[in-house]
Amino acid sequence: MVHLAEQKSGAMALRFTRSGLQSGRLYRRIHMTVPVSLLNPGESRVAEDAVTENVSPGGARVLVKTPVAPDVLLQLKSPTPRFRTSVRVVYCEPLSAGQFGLGLQLQGPSVNWIENSTDVA
């Protein structure tokens, strides 16, 4: 199960972490929709299926149904391009329709998302 943010103070903490981000980025983001899976470290069972909204060589923004606290470490598994890597949750933003936008920072080497993928907008 994905580690959840605390319910009573979750919304305030989620907004605070989003507004506390630095504006500078190391990589340019591109819009790309890729189905991915989030897993807790050390487990092979999928904690939650997600879809990317935008990606960069250093991270991704994914849409999920369950909030996740900032600084939680997860495994991100992608079928296309095929890779699995450790990620850190940078922020969790509540969205409409019961979804959340997670900002994920890759903890390993950068990723070429375009390699073997055809769904670039």
pLDDT at residue 61, as a whole number: 96
What is the pLDDT at residue 56? 92
Domain residue ranges in the chain: 10-17+27-106
Residue 101 corresponds to which tokens in the numbers above?
């936008």
For residues 92 and 9, is the Cβ–Cβ distance under 8 A?
Answer: no
What is residue 45's predicted lDDT score, i.e. its pLDDT? 79
Torsion of CA 33, 36, 40, 46, to 10 degrees: 140
- CATH of span 10-17+27-106: 2.40.10.220
Residue 16, classed as helix, strand or coil, is helix
At 114 the pLDDT is 79
Backbone angles phi, psi at 98, to 5 degrees: 70, 20
pLDDT along the chain (121 residues), means of 10: 38 38 68 93 84 94 95 91 91 94 92 63 43
Q: How confident is the model at residue 83, as a pLDDT?
A: 87
Element (H, E) at 18: helix 10-19
- Which residues, at least 6 apart from 112, have a Cβ–Cβ distance to it below 8 Å? 57, 81
pLDDT of 90 reads: 95
Whole-model pTM? Answer: 0.74
